[in-house]
Structure 1
Amino acid sequence: VGGAGGAVVVDKAGGQAPPKTLVDWALKILDTADPDEKARLGDLAATEWLRGAIPLPYDPAQPARAPPDRPARSDAVRLLPPSQAPKLGKGGSAQSRLAMLHSLAHIESWAVDLSWDIVARFGAQLRMPRGFFDDFARVAQDEGRHFAVLSARLRELGSHYGALPAHDGLWDSAMRTSHCLLARLAVEHCVHEVSQGIRCPSNHHIKIPRWWG
């Protein structure tokens, strides 16, 4: 929530200090298990960052804190190996359409984590410029809003996110590219995600972002 003079005001309930930088926000979001709250916090962080209320992308005086190997996720979503995930069908029945919606919600939820992970994992470590943080804050915000719409639609249809099993193949690829930003961009954000209808950080076009090189 925005405060006076552009400062960020965050509820300190629970004894935790409010995030001070965008990377701190990214780590907080990655540590949030509830998918709706994860999307809400991501929307808030992106909004505050893009309007200038979060002053720094990271603290250059502090060593970069490594993000978790795996973000916090809701136990309500049962995960299966990709080879065992149920087939979605072609949308010819109500059950098939519901399965497609659930799959899309799952992809968008992981996309939220993927976007904030790239901020937390590479932003401070590689001393990336502001344009990098701007791009991925916007992407993360969009993914969270997509998830919120799909989650709401599932509830309208009498279901919910977590009602069906899913797989986490996107995160498997993220871990295989966790050592290299260029590999992450190429494999995760511009191949896997685009093939599943998710954004690359340049308005759907696969091109070199302004901040690269």
Structure 2
Amino acid sequence: MASRELPPTIVECALAVLHEADPDAKVRLTNAVAEAWRAGGISCEPPERPTTVPDRPARPDDRVRLVPAWELPQRGKGGSLASRLALLHSLAHIESWAIDLSWDIIARFGRDSSYALPRAFFDDFVAVAEDEARHYALLCARLREEGSHYGALPAHDGLWESATATRESLPARLAVEHCAHEARGLDVLPQTIARFRRAGDERSAALMSDVIYPEEVTHCAAG
């Protein structure tokens, strides 16, 4: 998608991603926006016309069956293929929400002149969104390599519940979503990597240790 086809401001671009229901199309749009942003083709000025941020990002009704967290089966410790697929699916689902969370913070708070956010803020979260999109795509590819796919298992949307609780405050959003949740994920990821290595799944382990983990560290710094 060329930059001329994108909205003129980063807030409007963020809204376009949030309104895109298909997660694969969401990845493509994220990549297009990030490329245009780095090239200087998108403004960080507030939109000229009023904007409304959706209470919840668009999601396909038939892609992933959402259930309460307590109804999810135990994922196990990665010793079996089924357990490893459950772990990969859970990580892909987290990354799919992380894409939306990155754009929501731009769309929701970037239009608020009271925060007077510098361009560096948008630089950080556009980069985070692009990373999360890449992580999601790589995890989905890994699922396909193992004969599965994103949506093969149920999932929960606890991450978005936290976003809803912090939608009125940028400091609260940064503290809860982009510091606490990101840090918690970093704490447990080495254990997940070790489980895949013990099971002989070096491809999944390398994806997490060489790509996802080091990039997630920078996301905590952005928060």
Query: Please, what TM-score do these two structures have when normalized by structure 1?
Result: 0.84
- Contact 1:112–1:140 (CA under 8 A) maintained in structure 2: yes
Where does residue 32 of structure 1 map in the other structure?
Answer: 20
Give the root-mean-square deviation of aligned CA atoms: 2.0
1:181 equivalent to 2:170? Answer: yes
**Structure 1 runs (4+) greater than 3 angstroms displaced:** 58-63, 197-202, 204-207
Structure with the larger helix share: 2
- Contact 2:182–2:220 (CA under 8 A) maintained in structure 1: no
Q: Show the 5 A alignment for 1:15-26.
A: 18-26=6-14
Count, aligned residues: 194
1:150 equivalent to 2:165? Answer: no
Q: Give how far 1:196 is off.
A: 2.1
Q: Give how far 1:148 is off.
A: 0.5
1:203 equivalent to 2:223? Answer: no
Q: Show the 5 A alignment for 1:100-119.
A: 100-119=87-106
Q: Distance in 1 between matches of 2:54 and 2:77?
A: 36
Where does residue 121 of structure 1 map in the other structure?
Answer: 108
- Contact 1:135–1:201 (CA under 8 A) maintained in structure 2: no
Q: Distance in 1 between matches of 2:7 and 2:125?
A: 18
- Unaligned runs of 5+ residues in structure 1 are 3-7, 11-17
- Unaligned runs of 5+ residues in structure 2 are 187-211
- The superposition leaves residues 88-113 of structure 1 with CA deviations (integer Å, 9 ceiling, x where unpaired) of 11000000000000000000000000
Where does residue 74 of structure 1 map in the other structure?
Answer: 60
- Contact 2:162–2:176 (CA under 8 A) maintained in structure 1: yes
- Contact 2:178–2:220 (CA under 8 A) maintained in structure 1: no
Percent identical pairs in the alignment equals 57
Q: Give how far 1:82 is off.
A: 1.3
